[in-house]
Structure 1
């Protein structure tokens, strides 16, 4: 991920500023995004703890401080500003931000079920251990297998939402702009969701505030609203 931040930081301005090699830079951003997506999927499926580790610490060499100074943990304003850098454009029949939020809501609903199932499994395992400290090896192995499957389901749920938002809804340049804005931190899914929800809420509030003025019409405006 750190390599993506560093290289996309060079390519993105060339796309945004329409440099003579903007097309080549855009192709490079698309290739970089594909590499990041493939790396995330393979790493997460091989090691379920890899994703949490990625989210817990800033990326090395991607911050604005010194190498010896870890940046402070970001607050909501950081993620909201990063979400704005996606610059989703309401040009489709359904705006991209709505599609992204729909994917995140599906992730959230599925996550609640996964967590509930995990709590049930852990409670059953604890009860079985209390009832029979030595227990049956096969039963213990069964609990371990079920918990492992539950954890893998959580990883797949995360990856599905991540791929939809950043590899289907967002363009490569939008993904790069977002990740650069988040750097040196890698956003967790709640951070992505919170930032987009705030952005959508601000847009809705602005539209609601503009509606009365638009409905009043030019004549009403000229008469001072009388």
Structure 2
């Protein structure tokens, strides 16, 4: 999930729509709303954030410490009129990257991936056993062959592989796939998506690589 922060609804709604067209969930906040959310949100909600996209507002340089107190996800600042001084100030404040508008959401996602790789976390390609996922929109490879999946099932598989070796709850999956404020979708829809995904994986592999335990959640490689 990508969190977009800007006082202009045109900006937050626009990016939410664009990320959605790429199959990436997002949430939009005004500045004051975001401050309150970061301070009080549940750990499961914060852990679902893949990156923070900060619009052009005066307080964003001071937000880095607040964000870092809850999350290590990349922080990218959008700039309406980028100058050397403002860019250097943002980097000094702890922003990971600064991009000038207009910028395509695919470039933003690529920059998030580049930041992760610099941190030693390559999220463009992840694998476990016979499953390999590509978080750039490509179909997963299972048993050496592409497996075409609906968008939501592919995102669930990517999330499970990214968190290989540990269990994730249904709530964590829902937040990562649909976003934390999607009230139009029931959380139980995750169970339906996972059931369909597990059947397809079992047909390809001959066994079910996804394990589940009541109250603990789902996992691959656990």
TM-score with structure 1 setting the length: 0.23
Higher RCO structure (Cα 8 Å, ≥6 apart): 1
Kindly indicate which of the two structures has a greater share of residues assigned to helix.
1
